[in-house]
């Protein structure tokens, strides 16, 4: 079956600018029709949605993008391309949606098609860059991903997460190198790295990352990663290591019963994870002592403690 490729030239339709959205008049009838199309798409009734869309007396770019996104989610790249070409108006979302359809497609020719579409686009926002970056990285093409990453005029959390996650798949040293190069240590990147180490049964390396490699100025990003490692220690039956790590997270400071938040401090998940460690080790007394110290308890706290007595 022939493969649909983005053309080298811009689509023939006027109004497909990327810098602004060209909307049809947003009168009540158009808004009502847009909602009706959206309801059909959310219900998976694509044929009915397309029939209604084609019958609309006035169509907004929002409605068009919703339908385009639905085709992309179905991985019907050819239909998405045809619909994109037929859209009377479009915007940056339209282009990014089609790029995402090509980038996520398993067809062997669609990565090259995604690159051609990327080169055809008049403007690239961070979503555009991240979409193509993910396409390279998810296929293990880390040299191409690194080159594109280096060319990016701006990066966000998703950009760094992509590089850390997929470099981790090809080797810890490279992933740590990317993490060290981050100007700001995003908590999601740190958690992704720690989770990857845990999945590879590298709990010692995860501990080293948190307790020795992470700089003091970055500690505010670390509590979620600490909690993840405490839970991993619990699963591994390493109660002492879990408690040492828990003790490294400062408690919140209280003044007249009002908590004074620090950048890096225990949260309810920290307490719950440590209590669970004691419960799993059948040390209900220590679990209860820690439970009684908790400044704030949630439903998980109570259920965990109750489970220790049953």
**Which domains are present in the chain?**
12-107 (1.25.40), 185-310 (1.25.40)
Residues 114, 116, 119, 120, CA torsion sign = negative
3-state secondary structure of 20: coil
Contacts of range 299-308, beta carbons closer than 8 Å, 24 or more positions apart: 300/268, 300/272, 301/268, 301/271, 301/272, 301/275, 304/272, 304/275, 304/276, 304/279, 305/275, 305/279, 307/279, 308/278, 308/279, 308/284
Q: What percent of the chain has pLDDT over 70?
A: 85
Read off the tokens for 272: 């719950």
The radius of gyration of the chain from alpha carbons, rounded to an integer in Å, stands at: 25
Q: Using 50, 70 and 90 to split pLDDT, how confident is the model at 42? A: confident
Of 17 and 178, more confident: 178
**Per-residue pLDDT at 7:** 47
Contact 253, 237 (CB under 8 A): no
Residues 69, 73, 74, 77, CA torsion sign = positive
Of 46 and 124, more confident: 124
Is the pLDDT score of 48 beyond 80? yes
**Per-residue pLDDT at 257:** 52
Q: What percent of the chain has pLDDT over 90?
A: 51
| Mean predicted confidence (pLDDT) in 142-153 | 95
| Element at 98 (helix H, strand E) | helix 92-104
Q: Using 50, 70 and 90 to split pLDDT, how confident is the model at 30? A: low
Is the pLDDT score of 13 beyond 70? no
Average pLDDT, the chain: 84
Is the pLDDT score of 20 beyond 50? no
Is the pLDDT score of 260 beyond 80? no
**Per-residue pLDDT at 254:** 52
Is the pLDDT score of 17 beyond 70? no
**Per-residue pLDDT at 117:** 96
For residue 22, with 0-12 CB atoms within 10 Å meaning exposed, 13-18 middle and 19 or more buried, which class applies? middle
């Amino acid at each position: 079956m022939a493969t649909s490729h983005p053309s080298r030239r811009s689509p023939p339709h006027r109004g497909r600018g990327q810098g602004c959205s060209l909307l049809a008049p947003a009168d009540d009838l158009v808004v009502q029709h847009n909602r009706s199309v959206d309801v059909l798409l959310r219900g998976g009734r694509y044929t009915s949605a397309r029939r209604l869309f084609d019958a609309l007396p006035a169509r907004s770019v929002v409605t068009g993008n919703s339908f385009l996104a639905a085709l992309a989610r179905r991985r019907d790249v050819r239909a998405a391309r045809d619909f994109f070409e037929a859209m009377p108006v479009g915007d940056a979302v339209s282009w990014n949606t089609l790029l995402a359809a090509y980038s996520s497609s398993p067809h062997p020719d669609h990565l090259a098609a995604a690159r051609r579409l990327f080169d055809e686009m008049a403007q690239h926002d961070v979503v555009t860059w991240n979409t193509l970056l993910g396409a390279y990285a998810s296929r293990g093409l880390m040299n191409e991903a690194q080159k594109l990453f280096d060319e990016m005029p701006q990066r966000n959390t998703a950009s760094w997460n992509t590089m850390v996650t997929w470099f981790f798949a090809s080797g810890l040293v490279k992933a740590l190198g990317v993490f060290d190069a981050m100007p700001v240590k995003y908590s999601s990147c740190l958690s992704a790295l720690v989770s990857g180490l845990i999945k590879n049964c590298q709990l010692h390396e995860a501990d080293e990352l948190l307790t020795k490699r992470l700089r003091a100025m970055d500690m505010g990003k670390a509590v979620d990663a600490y909690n993840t490692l405490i839970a991993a220690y619990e699963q591994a039956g390493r109660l002492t290591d879990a408690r040492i790590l828990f003790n490294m997270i400062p408690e919140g400071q209280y003044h007249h019963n009002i908590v004074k938040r620090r950048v890096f401090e225990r949260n309810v998940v920290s307490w719950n994870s440590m209590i669970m460690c004691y419960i799993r080790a059948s040390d209900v007394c220590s679990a209860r002592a820690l439970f009684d110290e908790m400044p704030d308890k949630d439903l998980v706290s109570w259920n965990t403690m109750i489970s220790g007595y049953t």
